[in-house]
Amino acid sequence: MNALKYAAAALFLTASPVLADDLVALSNTATAITGDISFDDFEMVFSNGEKIEFDELVGDHFVVDGKDVPASVYSVKGPGNPVLLNGNRLCGTSPVTYLASWADDDVTMVAVFETQDVPSSNDEMCALYTYVYP
């Protein structure tokens, strides 16, 4: 019976919830359109409370300026394109279909796509936003 208790305790301790990263807008684009964000494996929440929800993780690497980097590539539920700060949207009027995120030193890069197919590089993005940890 003790073994069962220890196993249950170990499972409880390792199954902690995923916490969102709170990020501060760095680029002029991020400051003007999204503001600061909260980002995790399920959604990206913008400073005005709107959000983009992710359907699934579809890739774990991405080509940035010809170089393969570790990244998270998500398909977007919906797809959607909420109205953000100052009436702006992430990519003009078309629905956002994919979002890719990767680290570049201490900066978190978020590329947004309106493509039918899963993007493989930043060449296909419609917008790029950059953030830092507070």
Backbone torsions φ then ψ of 25, nearest 5 degrees: -60, 130
pTM: 0.85
What is the β-pairing status of strands 37-39 and 43-45?
Answer: antiparallel
> pLDDT for 101-112, tens place per residue?
999 999 999 999
> pLDDT for 42-57, tens place per residue?
999 999 999 999 999 9
Predicted confidence pLDDT, tens digits, the chain (134 residues): 444 343 334 444 444 455 789 999 999 999 999 999 999 999 999 999 999 999 999 999 999 999 999 999 999 998 889 999 999 999 988 999 999 999 999 999 999 999 999 999 999 999 999 999 99
User: What does the alpha-carbon distance between residue 101 and residue 49 come to, in Å, rounded to a whole number?
Assistant: 20
What confidence score (pLDDT) does residue 18 get?
54
Which tokens belong to 35? 């503001």
Which tokens belong to 96? 């956002």
Can you tell me which residue has the tokens 């978190």? Answer: 108
